[in-house]
Structures are given as C-alpha cells and as structure tokens.
Chain A
C-alpha cells in the first residue's frame, strides 16, 4: 500500500463514470506501472460484478395479488365524493335534472315577490325595505323584487331577479349578491346544494 490514496479514489471515480479523459489516462498509466494498484483495481471491478451479477431476485409469483388484496377498501361515501370530483359535469347535470324535476324552474318562472316574513320588513311597490332601527341577524333572500336597506343586516343579502337600491344608508355586514340570470341563479343553487351535500358527508 505504498500508493497514494488519490489513485484509489480515482479508481472509484472511474467506476462511477466520473473521470475525464486526461484523468483516465493518468490512472491507466499508473495501473500499467504498479502491480499493487492493478490488483486493487481488479478486485474492485470484480466486487461490482459480483454484487451486480444477474441475481434473480424475485418476490413470490402471487406478489401482486397479495398486495391488491391488502389494499384498504374505500369507504362508500368517500368513493361517492371522489366520483363526483372526477365527474363534475355528470354530477352537475344530475343535480340540474333533480332541480328541474323538483320544480325549482317553475319557482323561477313565478314572478312572485318572495322575502322572509316575520322580520319587520316593509314592502312598498315591489321594494322590500329593511327599515331604520331594524336589525336582522341572519342572511336574507329576496326574490323578484328590489331591496332597500335602511336598518342593519348582520349577514348576506341575496337579491334574486332584483336590485339592491344603494341610495339607502343602512349597513350590511356580509355580502350583497345580485342574481339576475337564471343560470347564475342556478349556479348559486347548485353551489348551495353541493355545499350541503359535502357538509352531509363530512
């Protein structure tokens, strides 16, 4: 072992494919002149050959089957949610169909004013007014009419097929949403329904 450690390091680099041409030349030259290093190098190459040798390392023939049978079975509701995520269009179409069957379209077509009752709201010429001094502590939804807020709403105001008349000086802590188109209205309904479906499955 009189030779430089550098030579052994070069052997390893060579075996890793890390030597450039000139370094390789240097290594070769040394190996040709030094028997000890030549021997060392042969042993290294042989070691690699031994551990790399066509070892027929294989698991049992039914390995795949065994793995597949051990996979956790998906909970039904998980797979339903997953299915809905994977197929959003079919899900939307199905919900659309259900809504249609359940008569929400006819509800849309009735141009009747609807608003929450029993909340001290005043109605004047299709305008629903939250009067001054009145505070509503929840979301309100007005359909087929305009809304004017003079009092306070601690929640969202949703106006379907109507307008929020902004001249008023009242306060709304949540969002004011105006939904004028049947599709955006539907979208709103779908989101709501979807949300409740996901809430149910939680």
Chain B
C-alpha cells in the first residue's frame, strides 16, 4: 500500500533519514506543482515554488502531526508560499500578467519539434494555455480553490483544512469561481 509506505517514509524522515524524503517528493511532486502552476501561471515559477514547498516541508517535518493527512499539510505549505509570492510581486507583476497567456504557451511548446502533433491536440494545448490565462484573471483565493478542487480533486473538507477556512466559505468560493470561469470560458 502506497499510503503505508509513505507513512513509513515520513517516520524515517522524522528520524533523520534524508533519503526517505525522496519517496515523498516523487509521489507528491505533480500535485504540488499543479497547485503552484494554477496559482502562479508560469511553469518556471511553479517549479521554483514547488521545490521550495518540499524543502520547507523537510525542514519543518517535526511540526507535522502524523495523525493528520500529510497531503493537507503539504498543500497548505504550497498554497501559502504561492499566495506569499503573489503578494510580494511588484507592480511589474501586472505587466507580467498581460503575457501570462504566452507564458502558458511556453509550457506547452517545450515538446520537441520533431514530434508532430495532431491538430486537435495542438488545439487542446492552446486551449489549456487559454484556460490558464483565464484562471490567472481570477483573484488568488479563487485560483487556489480551482487548483485544489478541480485539479487535485480534494473534498470540500480537505480544502477547508488546507486553506484553514470554514467549509461554507470553501463552497461559496467554489460557486463564485465556477461562475466567474463560466463567464470567461463560455465562448471557448
């Protein structure tokens, strides 16, 4: 069982076995990266922040309560770091935001040139960049909800634990976020 194995790895890390942390990173890297990407909109920044998330988790592993879900604790670090990063952005961030769409494109244009993609797939890659651009237009608090709910498919209770807000607030934000995206994506 993966769950059991991860629990064991976490115990080992707590006891000072650094190599056991590798298991944890490789298991959660996609989810953590996805949260950061949805919130920051750039692959480069998401990679950077996802790495920082794991480093923080390692350094603070003693403050993780083993009776609680590890993913909740880890995603909280990722969302908090992302929100911090968004807040710290200087005004030139908004300049950046203008070209978020192209940044999204660079993510998908990293596929080797010799690999010919069928038209519809290119379309869907462009589509993904477009969707991300529309997500970036939403306030950060909705972006985190979208990442946690629609990408990592967390339950409302888990989202409430990650973001440390009541379930009722999570619901309201999901509804508003979904409604806002509906308006933005209706013509796609």
> Interface of A with B (CB < 8 Å)?
8-9, 12, 15-16, 18, 40, 43-44, 46-48, 50-53, 55, 57-60, 63-64, 66-68, 70-72, 74, 79, 82-83, 86
Contacts and interface: CB of A to CB of B under 8 A. Distances in A.
Given A48-B150, A53-B128, A57-B37, A63 B51 contact: yes
Nearest to A12: B175
A85 to B, nearest CB: 8
Given A51-B181, A67-B29, 8 more contacts: A16-B156, A18-B171, A47-B181, A47-B185, A64-B26, A72-B58, A72-B59, A79-B16
Contacts, number: 100
Contacts of B55: 67, 70-72
Given A55-B151, A74-B18, A12 B188 contact: no
A60 B44 CA distance: 10
A111 B47 CA distance: 70
Nearest to B13: A71
A55 B37 CA distance: 11
B106 interface: no
Interface of B: 15-16, 18, 21-22, 25-26, 29-30, 33-34, 37, 46-47, 50-51, 54-55, 58-59, 124, 127-128, 131, 135, 146, 150-151, 153, 156, 171, 174-175, 178-179, 181-182, 185-186, 188
7 contacts: A9-B175, A12-B178, A47-B181, A52-B150, A64-B29, A79-B16, A86-B15
Nearest to A18: B171
B47 A55 contact: no
B16 A86 contact: yes
Contacts of A12: 171, 174-175, 178-179
B174 A71 contact: no
Contacts of B54: 67
Nearest to A15: B178
A113 to B, nearest CB: 46
B151 A63 contact: no
B171 A51 contact: no
A50 B15 contact: no
Given A51-B150, A63-B25, A82-B16, A43 B59 contact: no
A50 B188 contact: yes
A64 B175 contact: no
A5 B46 CA distance: 37
A38 to B, nearest CB: 14
Contacts of B46: 59
Contacts of B188: 50
B185 A63 contact: no
Given A58-B33, A71-B58, A86-B16, A47 B178 contact: yes
A90 to B, nearest CB: 14
Interface centre among A40, A52, A53, A55 (most CB of B within 10 A): A55
Contacts of B127: 50
B128 A59 contact: no
A12 B26 CA distance: 34
Contacts of A71: 18, 21, 55, 58
A63 B29 contact: yes
